[in-house]
């Protein structure tokens, strides 16, 4: 068993990403920050817990770590202040204190809720990310973004609160539904389009191996994404500079998620459509070449991700959500768009007609 360690270094708090396959099979290996006698709270959903509870609980039992389990409802539509209140009430009822450790055992929704609760419970307690989805392993579990959704906008309520560690076990992907796998691929493609031409070329050649869960290919892919995300977070923890570039496709995509009340579209699916809209925005403005844009859209399509906008959402429906986006300022829409394969730029105060035209080109 080989465990890779990828450091995430920030000004006030640094930690490691542990990455490997079947890494809970060696029960004598103890991950930081767990110590014998710790009290932990495993936050998960029924689907994940039903499949993996025996192995995970056995691991903690072997290290004499006490674990309470809190089960949340599954789905993005449950990433709300109501769920946060349920979790906080559970912590108080079980008499958890500042030494307790929250464990986010699930995908991005579980990670965001758990991290947010950790950041506000008794003014801040430790938490660990134990991501089980492809999207959370390559992106959401890294970097300390926490929060919940509001009906008027995604991730509008939250904090930056870094975990003590991220423990990424690719074995969890073996039980992941195919739709969730390709949802995570959207974030992988985002990294390649935004930061790394050679990684983009590698994805063009290896996309089918990823979809078939080839272990060596998956391990390399996750490790590559973790290194890119770590580097960005190291430079800009609170998203005031280059970390904004990680939002390629998200302003359009978040509008789709919010419009459908976080039920019809997985996050990665909405981001995939948002990336296509961002590509068209760049083409309309004459920034990116037709050839590069075509390659980007082809890669998204070959990953089995959607490239067409929802038919029952008109271009005007996007605007109110996009103006509330966290990157926007004083009602002026700010977008991240690709300028070439491996490069992105920020557009400030994008003309609404340009946005309408980009969305229109995505309507099949």
In the annotation, is 28 catalytic?
A: no
In the annotation, is 171 catalytic?
A: no
**The last residue of a domain, from among 175, 201, 232:** 175
CATH of the domain at 247: 1.20.1090.10
pLDDT tens-digit readout, 249-279: 999 999 999 999 999 999 999 999 999 999 9
Quickly count: other Cβ atoms within 10 Å of residue 189's Cβ: 26
Q: Are residues 170 and 184 in the same domain?
A: no
Q: Are residues 57 and 99 in the same domain?
A: yes
Contact in structure between 296 and 191 (CB atoms under 8 Å): no
Q: Which of 96, 126, 224, 229 is catalytic?
A: 229
In the annotation, is 123 catalytic?
A: yes
Looking at the predicted structure, is the pLDDT value of residue 27 above 70?
A: no
Contact in structure between 118 and 102 (CB atoms under 8 Å): yes
CATH of the domain at 65: 3.40.50.1970
Q: What is the b/e burial string over 159-172, where b = at least 16 CB atoms within 10 angstroms of the residue's CB?
A: ebbbbbbbbbbbbb
Distances (CA, A) of 134 to 155, 193, 226, 353: 20, 18, 12, 35
What would the mean pLDDT of 16-26 be, rounded to a whole number? 89
pLDDT tens-digit readout, 184-240: 999 999 999 999 999 999 999 999 999 999 999 999 999 999 999 999 999 999 999
Q: Which of 21, 96, 169, 187 is catalytic?
A: 187
- Lowest-confidence region among 59-63, 109-113, 125-129, 324-328: 324-328
Q: Are residues 338 and 274 in the same domain?
A: yes
Q: Is there a binding annotation on residue 74? A: yes
In the annotation, is 267 catalytic?
A: yes
Residue 29: pLDDT band with limits 50, 70, 90? confident
In the annotation, is 145 catalytic?
A: yes
Q: Are residues 51 and 159 in the same domain?
A: yes
Q: Are residues 252 and 157 in the same domain?
A: no
Q: Are residues 127 and 211 in the same domain?
A: no
In the annotation, is 295 catalytic?
A: no
Q: Are residues 61 and 103 in the same domain?
A: yes
- Lowest-confidence region among 62-71, 89-98, 163-172, 327-336: 327-336
Q: Which of 224, 247, 257, 269 is catalytic?
A: 247
Q: Are residues 155 and 201 in the same domain?
A: no
Average pLDDT, the chain: 94
What is the predicted pLDDT for the residue at 248?
97
Q: Is there a binding annotation on residue 332? A: no
Q: Which of 164, 243, 257, 269 is catalytic?
A: 243
What would the mean pLDDT of 22-28 be, rounded to a whole number? 77
Q: Are residues 76 and 192 in the same domain?
A: no
Closest CA to 226 of 77, 49, 20: 20
What is the predicted pLDDT for the residue at 332?
81
Q: Which of 96, 145, 224, 334 is catalytic?
A: 145
Looking at the predicted structure, is the pLDDT value of residue 30 above 90?
A: no
What is the predicted pLDDT for the residue at 145?
96
In the annotation, is 39 catalytic?
A: no
Q: Are residues 182 and 170 in the same domain?
A: no
In the annotation, is 99 catalytic?
A: no
In the annotation, is 201 catalytic?
A: no
**The last residue of a domain, from among 175, 199, 221:** 175
What is the predicted pLDDT for the residue at 194?
98
pLDDT tens-digit readout, 100-144: 999 999 999 999 999 999 999 999 999 999 999 999 999 999 999
Q: Is there a binding annotation on residue 76? A: yes
Q: Are residues 16 and 113 in the same domain?
A: yes
**The last residue of a domain, from among 175, 209, 241:** 175
Domain that holds residue 127: 3-175
In the annotation, is 243 catalytic?
A: yes
Rounded-to-integer distance, Cα 275 and Cα 189, Å: 9
Q: Say how many domains are in the chain.
A: 2
Q: Are residues 168 and 203 in the same domain?
A: no
Residue 330: pLDDT band with limits 50, 70, 90? low
Q: Which of 96, 190, 267, 334 is catalytic?
A: 267
């Amino acid at each position: 068993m080989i465990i890779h360690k990828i450091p995430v270094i920030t000004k006030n708090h640094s930690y490691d990403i542990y990455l490997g396959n079947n890494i809970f099979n060696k029960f004598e290996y103890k991950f930081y920050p767990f110590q014998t006698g710790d009290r932990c709270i495993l936050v998960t959903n029924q689907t994940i817990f039903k499949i993996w509870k025996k192995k995970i609980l056995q691991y903690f039992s072997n290290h004499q770590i006490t674990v309470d389990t809190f089960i949340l409802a599954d789905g993005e539509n449950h990433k709300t202040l109501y769920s946060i209140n349920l979790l906080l009430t559970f912590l108080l009822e079980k008499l958890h204190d500042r030494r307790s450790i929250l464990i986010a055992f699930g995908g991005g929704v579980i990670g965001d809720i758990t991290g947010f609760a950790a950041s506000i419970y008794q003014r801040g307690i430790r938490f660990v990310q134990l991501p089980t989805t492809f999207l959370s392993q390559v992106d959401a579990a890294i970097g300390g973004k926490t929060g919940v959704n509001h009906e008027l906008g995604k991730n509008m309520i939250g904090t930056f609160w870094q975990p003590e560690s991220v423990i990424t076990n690719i074995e969890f992907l073996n039980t992941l539904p195919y739709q969730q796998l390709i949802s995570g691929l959207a974030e992988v493609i985002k990294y390649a389009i935004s930061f790394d031409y050679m990684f983009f070329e590698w994805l063009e050649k290896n996309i089918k191996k990823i979809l078939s869960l080839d272990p060596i290919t998956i391990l390399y892919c996750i490790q590559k994404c973790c290194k890119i995300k770590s580097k960005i977070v190291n430079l800009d923890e609170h998203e005031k500079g280059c970390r904004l570039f990680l939002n390629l496709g998200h302003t359009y995509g978040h509008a789709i998620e919010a419009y459908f009340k976080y039920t019809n579209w997985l996050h990665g699916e909405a981001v995939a459509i948002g990336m296509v809209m961002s590509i068209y925005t760049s083409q309309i403005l004459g920034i990116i070449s037709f050839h590069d844009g075509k390659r980007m859209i082809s890669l998204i399509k070959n990953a089995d991700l959607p490239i067409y906008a929802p038919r029952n959402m008109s271009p005007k429906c996007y605007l109110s959500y996009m103006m509330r986006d966290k990157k926007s300022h004083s009602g002026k829409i700010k977008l991240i768009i690709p300028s070439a394969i491996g490069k992105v730029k920020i557009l400030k105060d994008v003309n609404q007609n340009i946005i309408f035209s980009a969305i229109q080109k995505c309507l099949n």
